[in-house]
Amino acid sequence: MKASQNLQGGIKKIFSTPSRRKMLFLGAAGVVLLLALSSSLLISETDDTSIPIARVKQGHVTIKISETGELRAQDQVVISAETDKQILWLVPEGTTVEEGDTLIRYESEKYIISKGEAESGVLVAQSDLVRAESDLEALEAREQSAKKNLETLPDLVKKGFIQQSEVEQAELAYLELKSKARSLKAALNAAQANVQRAQRGLEQQERKLRQGAVLAPRAGLVVYAMTGDVENQKKINVGMIPFEGQELMYLPDISSMMVDTEISEVDLARVNNGIPVEIRLDAYDNAVFKGQVTYIADLAKRKISRVTGKATGAKVFDVTIQVLDQDKRLKPGLTATLDIIVGQHENVLSIPLEAVFLDDQDQTIAYVKRRGGVDVRRIHIVESNDRVAVVKDGLAAGDEVLLGRPSSL
């Protein structure tokens, strides 16, 4: 009871004079104002707390252009179909073969039949030739006899044994035989040509029959060829009947590998022959291989969509990269991720590309977080790629930059 009386007395003492009451009300108003300002600052800062931040780094920066490509061998042997026979067996793709190993076996039954037919054709042509030779030989004998008879008739006319008309008839008969001989000689030449043609046909069927197996002309890694159009491509397979000359498989020399890729026209000026490339294979996550640019196309082409297989509006340039390392894991057809190194910078400031923005005057800016708010800084970008930007001025190492545009500004 006594403590309660003392507390009431103290409160009365505080409000006992006008000056004290005025000071109390001013103090209370100040507290309310501070609370209001604090609430405003907290709201402003709370609006941007969901935006991720990154620190400005200082040190070595490598500027890379990232692309994808496909490995291929610089040198390879192409195995093509020499006949249109059905494939009965294929050496498994990815097999390393030695020279002379069997690569393909074909079906041969129809060529056995074709060979028999060709042999019959040769026999018929040879029979026709024999008959033509016999006919010509008989006619030539008759022609020689008629000629000798004609040569004796003038003397008989002079002696009065025969009339001149008989000489004329004998001369006409000789000329007819001579004309028939020319026709038989033409028939003989045709029969000889038919024999040669039939023999070539037989040789061709025998060659196709012998081609029941294809042997490796050299050692290499077996890679199947693709068949079909762009949207329906598939690898060669057992049971298919290739057309003569169709590519069936390749034996690449994996000691010298290349990567084919494309670069956008906006990156063309930064890519030159000889610049280094880091190569990573989708099949081996931790492996990094060295390479260098060896070819850049002079003419642009339309980029082909991998989804539709049709040309898009983007323009690209073909680029070839030579793989400098030798490794058994480097196999044709593997997909590779390529980091083309177009710039190296030492002791520079860098920020993520997501931290770079443009103001209403198209000046590059960054939003720097500070205690109680955000500063807008104009920055000068020296070089960038799709991940990081090198900053010349406007920032300091350790500054925290926002990776999104704040809503409060």
- Is residue 179 predicted with pLDDT exceeding 90? no
- Is residue 192 predicted with pLDDT exceeding 90? no
What is the model's pLDDT at position 10? Answer: 38
Choose one of 190, 210, 230: the last residue of a domain: 210
374 or 32: which leads in pLDDT:
374
Contacts with 192 (C-beta within 8 Å, 6 or more apart), sequence order: 129
Compute the average pLDDT of residues 383-406.
91
CATH number of the domain encompassing residue 270: 2.40.30.170
- Whether residue 304 sits in one domain with residue 262: yes
Nearest C-alpha neighbor of 70 from the set 396, 332, 341, 359 = 332
- Whether residue 264 sits in one domain with residue 187: no
Is residue 199 a part of any domain in this protein?
yes
Burial of 352 (0-12, 13-18, 19+ CB in 10 A): middle
Is residue 33 a part of any domain in this protein?
no
Q: What is the maximum span of the chain, computed from C-alpha positions, in angstroms?
A: 195
What is the model's pLDDT at position 208? Answer: 66
- Whether residue 98 sits in one domain with residue 57: no
- Whether residue 337 sits in one domain with residue 233: no
Structure tokens of 385?
């790629």
- Whether residue 229 sits in one domain with residue 102: yes
- Whether residue 240 sits in one domain with residue 195: no
Backbone angles phi, psi at 47, to 5 degrees: -60, -30
Compute the average pLDDT of residues 254-262.
90
In the chain, % of residues over pLDDT 90: 31
Choose one of 187, 210, 233: the last residue of a domain: 210
- Is residue 18 predicted with pLDDT exceeding 50? no
> pLDDT tens for residues 107-151?
765 666 676 777 788 888 888 888 878 777 777 777 777 777 777
43 or 373: which leads in pLDDT:
373
Nearest C-alpha neighbor of 248 from the set 104, 381, 345, 114 = 104
Residues of the domain holding 80 = 76-106+221-249
Is residue 365 a part of any domain in this protein?
yes
- pTM of the model as a whole: 0.53
What is the model's pLDDT at position 409? Answer: 63
What is the model's pLDDT at position 115? Answer: 67
> pLDDT tens for residues 331-348?
888 899 999 999 889 999
Alpha helices in 16-108 (DSSP H): 18-47
Total of domains in the chain: 3
Out of 101-115, 255-269, 313-327, which region has the weakest mean confidence (pLDDT)? Answer: 101-115
Is residue 36 a part of any domain in this protein?
no
| 150 close to 174: Cβ distance less than 8 angstroms | yes
- Whether residue 101 sits in one domain with residue 242: yes
157 or 264: which leads in pLDDT:
264
Is residue 372 a part of any domain in this protein?
yes
**Residue 86: DSSP 8-state:** P
- Whether residue 124 sits in one domain with residue 195: yes
Alpha helices in 70-163 (DSSP H): 109-159
Out of 60-64, 206-210, 293-297, 372-376, which region has the weakest mean confidence (pLDDT)? Answer: 206-210
- Whether residue 274 sits in one domain with residue 202: no
What is the model's pLDDT at position 230? Answer: 63
Compute the average pLDDT of residues 258-283.
93
Is residue 82 a part of any domain in this protein?
yes
Question: Per-residue confidence at 60, pLDDT binned at 50, 70, 90?
Answer: very high
Question: Per-residue confidence at 164, pLDDT binned at 50, 70, 90?
Answer: confident
Compute the average pLDDT of residues 236-252.
90
- Is residue 243 predicted with pLDDT exceeding 80? yes
> pLDDT tens for residues 344-367?
899 999 999 999 999 999 999 999
3-state SS assignment for residue 236: coil
Is residue 42 a part of any domain in this protein?
no
- Whether residue 306 sits in one domain with residue 158: no
- Whether residue 374 sits in one domain with residue 317: yes
- Whether residue 227 sits in one domain with residue 113: no
Out of 219-223, 320-324, 388-392, which region has the weakest mean confidence (pLDDT)? Answer: 219-223
Per-residue b or e along 363-375, where b marks 16 or more CB atoms closer than 10 Å to that residue's CB: ebbbbbbeeeebe
Is residue 7 a part of any domain in this protein?
no
